[in-house]
Chains A and B, each alone.
Chain A
Amino acid sequence: MKSSNRHVLPGFSLTLGYTMLYLGLLTMVPLAACFGKAFSLSLADFWAAVWTPRTLAAYRFSLSVSLISSLASIVLGFVIAWVLVRYEFPGKRIFDALVDLPFALPTAVAGLVYSGLYVENGWLGQFLVPLGIKAAYSRLAVVLVLTFLGIPFVVRTLQPVLESMEDDKEEAAYLLGASRFQTFWRVIIPTLVPALITGFALSLARGLGEYGSVVFVSGNMPFKTEIAPVLIVARLEQFAYAEATAIAVVLLVISFALLLAINLLEAWSRRFYA
């Protein structure tokens, strides 16, 4: 029997069982409960709860800020990862550790600090607001905070790939006559594309679901800077559990569709660039 062959790592069936138990108890059961609650509504009520001008505006706002901030995250995250992998400088380890800070920081703290910095009498706001840059209680504010939260995902997915990348490819490209830009664009970036896409997906997913920090920086103005999770909380405050979960289900479906699309894109890019 094939299964009697010993694997290098023993305990395959046990670990598989544990994984299934974990997925089942911690992920599938709550998700199923969420869907079950949402579908206790009639179809008309479900539609009325999730498809109003206000919820549409909120989905649009949530999606656009998370997309913009994850794009910003992959650019900034790439620069940080590059510097941390390719250069030696004093205090590098400290910087490397600082990258993880947004993971550990309670997001409400991030939100409070950002809005405190950028309001009219804040450290940065006192210079920016006279220039007409409103970086507190605006779309820009939300993008800033989500970028702060998204960057570590990109850095941490890029770092191992960059580390495993040998200089010799670049040297070869250079010796074969590629310019510096060509080396960067045709040699380095293609290798990184799968990791960049993963980082993008992670920070996008983070941004879509983020609540704690955004409520403190967005100003929560309906139709303008209101994110979809705020609507869920508003429904809960009215003890309208089913309507709240209905909106949650829509968010889940959107996120799942996006992540699935991104995963397919990543698989495709691996094949393309391999």
Chain B
Amino acid sequence: MVTKMTIILTMLMLVMYLVTHPTPTPFPGIMTMNRRFQTFAWLAIAAGSLVGCSTSKSEADRDANSKELLNVSYDPTRELWKALNKEFIAQYKKSAGVELDIKQSHGGSASQARSVIDGLDADVVTLAMWTDTNAISKAGLIKPDWSSRLPNGALPYSSTIIFVVRKGNPKGIKDWPDLVKEGIEVITPSPKTSGNGKLSFLAAWGSVTVPGGSEEDATAFVKQLYQHVPVLDSGARGATTTFAQKNIGDVHLTWENEAHLEVQEAKGELEIVYPSRSIRAEPRVAVVDANVDRKKTRDAAEAYLKFLYTPEAQEIIAKNYYRPSKPEVLHKYSNQFKEVELFDINKIANDWDDADAKFFAEGKTFDQIYAPSQN
């Protein structure tokens, strides 16, 4: 929109210039060139406005029997949504007779949330962290009751943080306390800039407090843990590259689904270790009310999210290594999802916002780890 306006403005100025300065010249050749240029400029403007008209016309056409949805999601879900979209588009065409075109946008969860707040036309958001969806809700784009509008607290699947280690687990890493042993290097992204990073921190914290440890013990543990982190990547995929490609570190704390993909890709060089307990990540989904009402896509958007709870969708979710919310599907894939005690966020904080304020806000627990007086 803005670029189009800039182009038109520039064109107009060019034309104004040419009209107001019909440079008289003794060389007829240059004169014709100038004329030609003028004609070209006019033609370009005409063509530009034609293109403008034709796109708006085709958009109007599409409204009748086809719709476009934009799903704004976080980084590692590309493959998952590709598979889910294919299935849903076919289903929706059969049931509602509407040809859907689902566009995907992926990126860091919080920066995706900011884009939506700043005006990205998302119909649905499927972000990694409750906090990010809630931030959009606080900005007034999603109604406050969003997490109760869909089954299971708007949580069609969950995930967690597990360990990836080198082939044969040479350092014998089995559970959280092993991470702070002498000579172990831990790879996980920064909690300040990454959802994966936050969840790793919270999982480590809960590994101490959930079985009954005190907050002081937990603080001491995470402090020790982050002294074993040689590199704080800014995002999940960056940390995966550091661990898998650059061979830095002995253990990688990552999303369960990322861990499976990472191990598959490493062709036997890496293996998965399940700790005894970890945090339940809650990548909840929501319809962006303000956008679907304006774009008149509410029906399709709501059907899209409800579809996630159908057995077909749950199967696809499980096949992509996300833990389906339907117990029977989870059970069917139990050899893939090892038994782990998953604790909820309310075991370590009031809710996700509170966890953010308590651990990751300026000067709080995470920052204190690095304060120079302790170094």
Question: Which of B231, B241, B372 is the one whose CB lies under 8 Å from A53?
Answer: B372
B190-A220 in contact (CB<8A): yes
For window 129-186 of A, CB contacts with B under 8 Å fall at 136-137
Segment with Cβ contacts to A, from B61-69, B245-253, B294-302: B245-253
In angstroms, Cα B246 to Cα A136, docked, is 11
Selected from B233, B241, B247, the residue in CB contact (under 8 A) with A220 is B233
- Point out the residue from B20, B234, B238 that lies within 8 Å of A230, measured CB to CB: B234
User: Among A49, A137, A222, which residue has its beta carbon within 8 angstroms of that of B231?
Assistant: A137
A18–B135 Cα distance when bound, in Å, is: 40
Q: Which of A31-39, A80-88, A233-241, A254-262 contacts B (4 or more CB under 8 A)?
A: A233-241
* In the complex, chain B residues whose CB is within 8 Å of the CB of A14: 13, 16-17, 20
Asked whether A238 lies within 8 Å of B246 as measured between CB atoms, the reply is no
Among all A-B residue pairs, the 8 with the closest Cβ atoms: A222-B370, A234-B192, A237-B110, A219-B231, A220-B232, A119-B246, A121-B247, A215-B234
Contacts A137-B230, A237-B193: A120 and B17 contacting too (C-beta < 8 A)?
no
Number of interface residues of B (CB under 8 A): 37
Measured between C-beta atoms, what is the minimum distance from B10 to chain A in Å? 8
Is A10 in contact with chain B by the CB < 8 A criterion? yes
B371 touches A53 (CB 8 A): yes
Chain B 96-112: CB-based contact to A (< 8 A → 1; otherwise 0): 00000000000010110
Instruction: Tell me whether B230 and A219 are in contact (CB under 8 A).
Output: yes
Q: Does B144 contact A (CB under 8 A)?
A: no
Pairwise interchain contact A237-B231, C-beta atoms closer than 8 A: no
Contacts of A223 in B (CB 8 A): 370-372, 375
With A14-B13, A52-B362, A234-B190 already in contact, the answer to whether A119 and B370 are too (CB < 8 A) is no
Residues of B within 8 A of A11 (CB): 17, 20-21
Which chain B residues have a beta carbon within 8 Å of chain A's beta carbons?
13, 16-17, 20-21, 23, 108, 110-111, 113-114, 135, 190, 192-194, 230-234, 238, 241, 245-248, 356, 360-363, 367, 370-372, 375
Tally A residues with Cβ within 8 Å of B.
Answer: 33
Within the assembled complex, what's the spacing in Å between the Cα atoms of A245 and B88?
A: 41
Report the nearest B residue to A237, measured CB to CB. B110
Question: B residues within 8 A CB of A215?
Answer: 233-234, 238
* Chain A residues in the interface with B (C-beta under 8 A): 10-11, 14, 18, 49, 52-54, 57, 112, 115-116, 119-122, 136-137, 215-216, 219-223, 230, 233-234, 236-239, 243
How far is it, in angstroms, between the C-alpha of A49 and the C-alpha of B246 when the chains are bound?
35
B367 to chain A, nearest CB (A): 7
Q: Are B246 and A115 in contact (CB under 8 A)?
A: yes
| Selected contact of A238 from candidates B23, B245, B360, B363, CB within 8 Å | B360
Assembled-state Cα–Cα distance A233/B367 (Å): 15
- Please measure, in the bound complex, the distance between the C-alpha atom of A116 and the C-alpha atom of B244, giving whole angstroms: 12
Listed A/B pairs (6) with beta-carbon separation below 8 Å: A10-B23, A11-B17, A52-B363, A215-B238, A236-B110, A237-B192
Name A18's contact: one of B13, B231, B233 (CB within 8 Å): B13
B115–chain A nearest beta-carbon distance, Å: 11
**Interface contact A237-B135, CB-CB below 8 Å:** no
By the criterion CB–CB under 8 Å, are A116 and B246 in contact?
yes
Shortest beta-carbon distance from B353 to chain A in Å: 10
Distance to closest chain B CB from A155 (angstroms): 30
CB distance A220 to B135 under 8 Å? no
Using known A-B contacts A116-B245, A119-B247, A222-B367, determine if residue A238 contacts B356 with beta carbons closer than 8 Å. yes
For A119, the chain B residues whose CB sits under 8 A away are 246-248
Q: Which residues of A lie under 8 Å from residue B110 when comparing CB positions?
A: 236-239
Give min CB distance, B131 to chain A, whole Å.
8
- Residues in A neighbouring B360, C-beta threshold 8 A: 238
- B370 / chain A contacts, CB cutoff of 8 Å: 54, 221-223
Q: Which of B135, B232, B247 has the most chain A CB atoms inside 10 A of its CB?
A: B232
Residues of A close to B372: CB separation below 8 A:
53, 57, 223
Asked whether, in the complex, the Cβ of B23 is within 8 Å of the Cβ of A54, the reply is no
* Chain A residues in 8 Å Cβ range of B13: 14, 18
A contact residues around B363 at 8 Å (CB): 52
Max chain A C-beta neighbours (<10 A), residue from B108, B372, B375: B372
- Residues of chain B within 8 A (CB-CB) of A112 are 241
> In whole angstroms, how far apart are the Cα atoms of A239 and B13 in the complex?
40
Q: Are the CB atoms of A220 and B246 closer together than 8 Å? A: no
Q: Do residues A221 and B232 form an inter-chain contact, with CB atoms below 8 A?
A: yes
- Given known contacts A119-B248, A121-B246, A220-B231, is B367 in contact with A236 (CB within 8 Å)? no
CA distance A119 to B301 in the complex (A): 46
Question: What residue of chain B has the Cβ atom nearest to residue A21's Cβ?
Answer: B9
A221 nearest CB neighbor, chain B only: B232
Q: Are A120 and B362 in contact (CB under 8 A)?
A: no
Cβ-neighbour of B114 out of A53, A115, A239 (below 8 A)? A239
> B234 is contacted by which of A49, A115, A136, A233 (Cβ under 8 Å)?
A233
Q: In the assembled complex, which residues on chain A have CB atoms less than 8 Å from the CB atom of B193?
A: 230, 233-234, 237
CB nearest to A49 among chain B residues: B362
Further pairs besides A221-B231, A222-B367, A234-B193: 4, Cβ < 8 Å: A112-B241, A121-B246, A236-B114, A238-B192
